[in-house]
A and B are shown apart, each in its own frame.
Chain A
């Protein structure tokens, strides 16, 4: 059974940093690309970033480019999102999602339960 468990969310001040983790199990982690999607309170879904199975390819939404870094440790079956220079508009539930193949194309077939990030002074 595919399981994705996000952690690392919390309250942070504007300009601060936070690192989210997503622990994966139930599948061969290195064989699948992974992505992050966020949802501001009461709003719709926003795609944030994607990384290939090898970690060699990464892409970002313009809204986070230069501030967020996606990475993965295939030996630990864990996906990360390093978030720097956080802004109030980054407040959201952050979901990790398993993609359907090793490349970044395609969609996410399984999602975690999400972790809430609140940026506020």
Chain B
């Protein structure tokens, strides 16, 4: 059974940093592109970052480019999101998601999500 379990969320002040983690199991982690997708309270879904199978390629939307860094450790089947210079508009539930085969592709599996609140 595919499982994605996020951790590391919480309350953080504007301008500070936070690092999210996602522990994956139930599939060969190194074979899949992975992503972070967020959802602000009562809002829609927004893609945040994507990483290739080896980690050599990363992609970001303009809203987080230069502030967020996605990374992975295939030996540990883990995905990370380093978030710097956080803003109030980054407040959201962050989901770790596995792509379907290949990229670009749909999100075949999602974690349960972790809440990040940016507030003074």
A and B associate in one complex: no
Binding site for A on B (CB under 8 A): none
- Which A residues are within 8 Å of any B CB, using their own CB? none
